[in-house]
Amino acid sequence: MTKNNKLILVDGSSYIYRAFFALPQLSTSDGIPTNAVYGFTTMLQRLIHDYKPSLLAMVLDAPGPTFRHEVYQSYKANRPKMPDSLAAQIPLIKEVIAAFNIPVIEKAGYEADDIIGTLARQAEADGAAVTIITGDKDLYQLVTQHITLFDTMKDVLVDEEAVKKKIGVTPDKAIEVFGLMGDSVDNVPGVPGVGDKTAIELIQQFGSIENLYRNLDNVTKKKVRETLLTHKEQAFLSRQLVTIDTCVPLERRWPELHSGAPDTEALRGLYKRLEFTRLLKNLPREQAAGKTYHLLTTMEEVRQLFLRLREQGSFALDLETTSEDPMRAEMVGISFAFQEHEAFYIPVAHKNVERQVEREELLQELKPLLEDASLKKIGQNIKYEYIIFKRCGITLRGIYCDTMIASYLLNPSKHNHNLDDIAMDYLDYRTTTFKEVTGSGKNAVTFDLVPLEAAKDYACEDSDITFIVSKMLLPKLQEDGFDELYTGVELPLLEVLADMEMAGVRIDVALLKQLSEEYAVTLASTTDKIYQLAEEEFNINSPQQMGKILFEKLKLPGAKKTKTGYSTDISVLTSLAKVHPLPAEIVSFRTLSKLKSTYIDSMPEIINPATGRIHTSYNQTVTATGRLSSSAPNLQNIPIRTDEGKRIRAAFITEPGWKMLSADYSQIELRILAHLSRDTTLIDAFVHDQDIHTRTAAEIWGVKPEDVTAQMRREAKVINFGIVYGMSAFGLSQQLDIEPRLAQAYIDDYFRKYKGVQDYIDQVITSAQERGYVTTLLSRRRYVPEIKSGNVTARKFAERTAINAPIQGTAADLIKVAMIRIVDRMRREQFTGRMILQVHDELIFEAPEQEIETLRALVKTDMEGVLEMSVPLKVDISWGNNWSEVH
């Protein structure tokens, strides 16, 4: 063999454990743990990319005892059992290795180290160079001029010089040092009292354990000499245990360890099953056969297409534009599809092209087509198209399917419902990404600069795939019982949200400028206080620097180390604030700084120049509970009760002569809990319009309602909402700053008084264990696969989710239905006012002063009468000149 031969041996067991502990707990939407598989796969990909090996083997530990256990029964006795969530991933990891076409070597009775040592020595003897991929120091003994170790996680190469630098002796003496030291992880006893420093000094002096014992009288330290003499047999046993066997009888020799090209289709199926979206996207694209994508550049061609669309009665459409923001985007082109694998693209605003359709002429032809409600329109996130068409004077009617919403209803726990992921989930097809067409970073261009052929293929694929998956998603919605929720709630809500987004909200720029200046002064003052309390200046935004100040300099209690330093999250700082003033000032700094950057300074910059207002986006497919979320900007995160939050809300104003009206459901989740649990005490309290927190305090502490103190009511409020969220005794103790035993007593008292709630919770958990999901009153599902997990933490989290999801999800459903009904009535009764914001259980309207009283009555009636329940729904309504005044 020539020296050009290169063998890569991967210490698979080390790789697997390091991948498992390197990543936080991850799982698929149906509960399969995947963090070790994902970490292992990415590490393997990097290895293959960097080394491009032709000779490669994955070496694994075979289950069962080894020859070392015969020598010493307690070998590895202290090692903890493999975590259940890791054990479940081992078969999947083996699937990954097989899909990469990498040979796997394992042998009963031997450890992976022995197999690695045997193959490495064979290859070295034949003149090959060997690289062992590991982070295990036990393999230092194998290092020679031709055998090196490489730790891919730390990018560290270990050669002969590195071994000597790390353990003070050459690799051939490593087993002598390790034998004296022992190994607590593997339960190798070593010589008690002889640590690494002493072991290294002894071997540097005597060269080996045999020579050490032949010259024991020359050991100068009496205590060391005595312990060596006492544990002589243990020293030799330990060296035997740490010595790698390089003569394992293997069926395959090293030249046979050829790794083939990865099996792309096997990887595609595996990544899809494990929901590794990013890895899926990195696989080579497969070509769909028989696609016919047309480019239409004349109005005659367009008119012929529109006739065919009318004949078909349903079609998918997709706009290409200049911006992700539909309130700023300009139309570049539009694609249509009405049968599989055929689609049409009409360019209207591409640059540097010879011929394309005139935009205004196209819009004239589009208007009757898109406003015909009898024609069924299909889209992916079709709210985007709705807004752009509305800005063009076209009201998109006949929305029949939004594939993004359909995918979300079928599996709300999935992280993404974009078309790329849906295509992969339902068609095993990787779509062309936007970046592949427009480029990224410095090379990125807007879509109007994409060459027509590439633009046509991309746009047509979008409408084609959307049309195809709609045919798969709609039947599944019906099959799973989501049809009414989809057609009766989510699709009509889409148009309500689009109109709200277009309406936007007016901002008082002058007030925000004033607040910015005030907060800058306050932040500077807070910074000075922080530096004074810390007795030095440091980067307050650096968790690492902050951790050193809090835990190393000030020596505050409760230090928790993470990979990057000490934990300094809000829970840690809040706890520390009880014992030192510095953490409280840091919390104040963080809060003010975030509010200033996120809202005060940024909102004036995102005012739409055409409307003079800011336009948030409402997301229907983000939260697993069914609640709406808000982005760009997120208007649901402005604090309600703090002075800072109130001052920011004061900057949300109305037009002159108009008022802002707020309608807020009162304690809706507790009312839903009363209805779902049928608890007679809870129902009685709400039917008689009693203060539920006072009533709960009276029940738990056994006093009359009039004797309930403010502190008792506050604690009862925490207990009430804690029950809704499945809070544990420990969680309640943290909230109330009491002993966990007392918190448990409070919870026990609560369930004794509200037995119906306890029965309901038990029933929900049992049902979730049987079905794998829970439902809201309107049949929205929340899947909780971890409810059967062997991992206690994961199972308890799933149980809390199962308790809360039907309640929070029903609250989300009710306000959605109320929004649809209110907007419908406002249209029919021709109100000038409009709904402009939704924040969880609150709806915000703006209207001329003369409409406010009528609007108040309408909103109250529709919100309180949204669904017939065993307890009345209550809505608190107020109005004023800005968002702060209505609270």
pLDDT tens track for 142-160: 999 999 999 887 888 999 9
Cα gap 726→806, rounded to integer Å: 12
CA-nearest of 213, 208, 211 to 228 is 213
Average pLDDT (3-20) is: 83
The DSSP element (H or E) to which 664 belongs, if any, is strand 658-665
How do residues 167-183 score in pLDDT, each as one tens digit? 898 999 988 888 888 88
- Residue 27's pLDDT is what? 83
CA-nearest of 726, 689, 853, 877 to 800 is 726
Q: Which residues pair with 321 in a beta bridge?
A: 331
The yes-or-no verdict on residue 701 having pLDDT over 70 is yes
Cα gap 515→531, rounded to integer Å: 24
CATH pick for 677-809 out of 1.10.1200.10, 1.10.150.20, 3.40.50.720, 3.90.480.20: 1.10.150.20
Give the contacts of 520 (CB within 8 A, at least 6 positions apart): 596
Query: How many residues would you count in the chain?
Result: 887
Where in the chain are the domains? 6-166+245-256, 285-480, 507-612, 677-809
Task: Say if residues 603 and 511 touch (Cβ distance below 8 Å).
Answer: no
Q: Enumerate the H helices of 348-416 as residue ranges.
A: 359-370, 382-391, 403-410
Tokens found for residue 246: 């390089």
Q: What average pLDDT is seen over the chain?
A: 91
Considering Cα of 63, then 65, then 67, then 68, what sign does the dihedral take?
positive
- Residue 51's pLDDT is what? 84
* Architecture of the structural domain at 285-480: 2-Layer Sandwich (3.30)
User: Quick one: 507-612 is in which CATH superfamily?
Assistant: Taq DNA Polymerase; Chain T, domain 4 (1.20.1060.10)
Tokens found for residue 305: 């297409």
The yes-or-no verdict on residue 561 having pLDDT over 80 is no
Cα gap 723→700, rounded to integer Å: 14
Name the 3-class secondary structure at 536: coil
Q: Does 377 or 24 have the greater pLDDT score?
A: 377
CATH topology of domain 6-166+245-256: Rossmann fold (3.40.50)
Q: How confident is the model at residue 407 (pLDDT cuts 50, 70, 90)?
A: very high
Angle in degrees, 0-180, between the axes of helices 403-410 and 419-427, rounded to the nearest 10: 60
Q: Does 643 or 306 have the greater pLDDT score?
A: 306
Task: Say if residues 732 and 726 touch (Cβ distance below 8 Å).
Answer: no
Tokens found for residue 131: 């690289």
How much of the chain is helix, strand and coil, in % rounded to 5?
A: 55, 15, 35
Task: Say if residues 211 and 239 touch (Cβ distance below 8 Å).
Answer: no
CA-nearest of 314, 335, 500 to 398 is 314
The percentage of the chain sitting over the pLDDT mark of 90, rounded to a whole number, equals 58
Cα gap 230→72, rounded to integer Å: 18
Q: Which residues pair with 659 in a beta bridge?
A: 847
The yes-or-no verdict on residue 24 having pLDDT over 60 is yes
- Residue 442's pLDDT is what? 85
Average pLDDT (231-257) is: 88
Q: How confident is the model at residue 3 (pLDDT cuts 50, 70, 90)?
A: very low
Give the least confident one: 244-248, 351-355, 363-367, 563-567: 563-567
- Residue 2's pLDDT is what? 39
Q: Does 19 or 513 have the greater pLDDT score?
A: 513
How do residues 53-104 score in pLDDT, each as one tens digit? 889 999 998 888 888 888 888 888 777 778 888 888 999 999 999 999 999 9
Calculate the CA 372 to chain-centre distance. 40
How do residues 757-783 score in pLDDT, each as one tens digit? 999 999 999 999 999 999 999 999 999
Give the least confident one: 109-123, 299-313, 392-406, 735-749: 735-749
The yes-or-no verdict on residue 564 having pLDDT over 90 is no
Q: Does 269 or 463 have the greater pLDDT score?
A: 463
Name the 3-class secondary structure at 163: helix
Angle in degrees, 0-180, between the axes of helices 174-181 and 232-242, rounded to the nearest 10: 130
